Structure 1
């Protein structure tokens, strides 16, 4: 039996108050990609499930998580080694939030808590000058909105990695690691409703940090360009004639 061309590397699951109304992370990604659950293979590495051998004819999406890359959990370090192996054969990879940080860590970068604290809400993402020369992003809007929620960030890029976008808070919002490997600190799979649930869940913490959850919620909007980034990458990887 042929494996689905899309592999979702699931590195966590939402808290019940977010998961119950909106589903698990693979559901979010399937909705963003416009595909059915049958069209993807999900490997829950955070529960000890083993990844298949890297395969350049498939595309892997590495999800976000409620864990921290700096904890160096055994399953996370195994996934980091898998990323290195996948990079060696040119397998298409798209990392999101934790997946973004995991890819940077795996390839020699440094991940840690952001010195300015948490970034949360719907924020502007600005392409870097290098994006104008990037084959994937050169026709993308120079500024677009995306949903964010993270405490840790890529603090130092891996050797050879290139920044393609930033936010006011975080300089490493889109990073390219090679011809077929890219990652985003923001969440292209989030809807305003998911983002609101994440904000409401941490309302007391956000207030203690000086943020207003009600204002953050009022600023939420659909982030079509962020979602299209993920969808287009996966579609191009799946439709590449050589694959």
Structure 2
């Protein structure tokens, strides 16, 4: 008899722009493309207050990005943060991305708010620290890699006891781990270069107002296979953990 697939919950904390959804689907589809087909994945709309009941029913948890802001402390978001805390307490593998990264930090006592220098968007470099060399999720990654980014809020201070894993010149907290199996990444491993370009196209008027050059930013978008590979590595970690 074959073993049941490891069960993974995706907490969907928002939706992409309608024009992007029409072309590429919504956040959960991008994650499903990057995660292993060997996982049994269920999507919960956290914004609509859909949360899994018992975290112990799951072998892994992924928390998506969102146009919402963690610092608004909306009731649905605070309830999701409390659920995330239970996941961490049970040592269930978890990956928070962008909003999910910030929500994890907030839940654990870190500080989240608007980045003092504004928006970070486009393909950027991320540098891993020495702490990533023996990290179960990051240890096989190159020391510097490209990643897709779009955010206005950041983790301004890490939760007490968190291990900083990655940064760049703009964002000091690109990746962290808490405990053995909870990770937050500010960058978007689920974004393709086409999705990144679509974001910059939608953001173009705002980027111009901020004194940035959207066309130059679109032209400098490139594939980010090492960052995208994080979802496959997380899948392997979940499967390995499930197998005991």
* Superimposed CA distance per residue, residues 131-165 of structure 1 (whole angstroms, 9 cap, x where no aligned partner): 12324323320000000000000001001001100
Q: Which residue of 2 aligns with 1:8?
A: 10
2:201 and 2:139 map into 1 onto residues whose CA distance is: 36
2:220 and 2:203 map into 1 onto residues whose CA distance is: 16
Q: Which residue of 1 aligns with 2:137?
A: 136
Length-normalised TM-score, structure 1:
0.94
> Which deviates further from its counterpart, 159-168 or 229-238?
229-238
* Superimposed CA distance per residue, residues 78-127 of structure 1 (whole angstroms, 9 cap, x where no aligned partner): 01000111111111100000000000000000000000110000000000
SS at match of 1:172: coil
Shift of 1:34: 4.7
Q: Which residue of 1 aligns with 2:52?
A: 51
Q: Is the 8 A contact 2:59 2:242 kept in 1?
A: no
- Note the residue ranges of structure 2 that are not aligned, 5 or more in a row: none
* Superimposed CA distance per residue, residues 47-93 of structure 1 (whole angstroms, 9 cap, x where no aligned partner): 12132311275100000001000110111000100011111111110
Matching of residues 11-160 of structure 1 within 5 Å: 11-35=13-37, 39-55=40-56, 57-160=58-161
* Superimposed CA distance per residue, residues 183-236 of structure 1 (whole angstroms, 9 cap, x where no aligned partner): 100000000111111111110110111111111111111111001112201221
2:75 and 2:58 map into 1 onto residues whose CA distance is: 27
Give every structure 1 segment of 4 or more consecutive aligned residues whose post-TM-superposition deviation is greater than 4 Å.
none
Length-normalised TM-score, structure 2:
0.94
- Change over 3 Å in CA distance of 1:219–1:76 after alignment to 2: same
- Note the residue ranges of structure 1 that are not aligned, 5 or more in a row: none
Q: Is the 8 A contact 1:45 1:51 kept in 2?
A: no
